[in-house]
Chains A and B, each alone.
Chain A
Amino acid sequence: EIVLTQSPGTLSLSPGERATLSCRASQSVSSSYLAWYQQKPGQAPRLLIYGASSRATGIPDRFSGSGSGTDFTLTISRLEPEDFAVYYCQQYGSSIFTFGPGTKVDIK
């Protein structure tokens, strides 16, 4: 079973700064099946990125995804106040969906 590790656990940044979130898989995953979600307190997760680098409908272009194999990155180019949240990566393979433990982006 593939295990996803996200780092850092918490990222403390100021609005306007750049956020770089990492997702590492225990073995190679298909980029086509790698997604990123945003979750705010008390809310359901929201799809941000699918296929490792494709933005979901309505997602601002300050969000971008990259990577392949075992290393994937979510970048937020300039943090807006509404971007402070928890971010999860997720992959599908071998009939199993797996989430990473999440990275919390909070206000410095």
Chain B
Amino acid sequence: EVQLVESGGGLVQPGGSLRLSCAASGFTFSSYEMNWVRQAPGKGLEWVSYISSSGSTIYYADSVKGRFTISRDNAKNSLYLQMNSLRAEDTAVYYCARVMATPDYYYYYMDVWGKGTTVTVSS
């Protein structure tokens, strides 16, 4: 079964750090690009960061640029999000999502999502 399982969320004070993990199973993780997407309480979905299958290409939303770092370990089938200088507005459920790209990149979308991990930034 194709599965993504996030972990590492919790309560952290403003200015603090947290590292999220996403464990992948049931597919060849190293062949897929990945995203982190978050959802603040009662709000919509917000894309956070992207990483290519090899890890060589990375993008960030402006809201987290310079504070968050995405990475992956293909040998461990794992995706990470290092979050520093956390703010109250980073409070959200964080989802990892698999990016499906057809070989010619004709189609490009997120087809598998984890259940999410909750991050709360509060003093």
Contact = CB atoms under 8 A, between A and B. Distances in A.
B110 A35 contact: yes
Residues of B contacting A: mostly: strand
Interface string B98-123: 00100000111111011110000000
Interface of A: 32-33, 35, 37, 39, 43-47, 50-51, 54, 56, 88, 90, 92, 95-102
A35 B109 contact: yes
A46 B107 contact: no
A95 B99 CA distance: 13
B108 A101 contact: no
Residues of A contacting B: mostly: strand
Nearest to A94: B59
Interface in B51-86: 59, 61
Contacts of A99: 37, 44-47
A32 B107 contact: yes
A32 B47 contact: no
